[in-house]
């Protein structure tokens, strides 16, 4: 992987969680949401699970 995540292990802000909820509510996929937030897909998925946010499965 050539991409480096500068925000490694950074805590989530309430603004980021709000954006996660908004994007998930619009039916966006995990990859798209993670890219918009500047987070890894795994981190985004974990946070969504913690907050009980459903993310659409894109195939």
Give the residue among 25, 27, 29 at the shortest CA–CA distance from 45. Answer: 29
For residue range 15-52, list pLDDT tens digits in order.
999 999 999 999 999 999 999 999 999 999 999 999 99
Across 3-15, average pLDDT: 76
Q: How many alpha carbons lie under 13 Å from residue 31 in its C-beta half-sphere?
A: 3
pLDDT number for residue 36: 95
14-25 and 41-51 helices cross at what angle (nearest 10)?
A: 90
pTM for the full predicted model: 0.81
Across 2-10, average pLDDT: 64
Q: Where are the domains of the chain?
A: 14-51
Write the CA distances from 53 to 1, 17, 31, 45, integer angstroms.
Answer: 28, 10, 15, 9
14-25 and 30-37 helices cross at what angle (nearest 10)?
A: 150
């Amino acid at each position: 992987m050539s991409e480096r995540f500068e925000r490694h292990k950074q805590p989530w802000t309430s603004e980021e969680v709000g954006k996660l909820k908004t994007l998930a509510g619009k039916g966006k996929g995990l990859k798209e949401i993670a890219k918009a937030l500047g987070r890894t897909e795994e981190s985004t998925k974990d946070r969504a699970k913690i907050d009980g946010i459903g993310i659409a499965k894109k195939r």
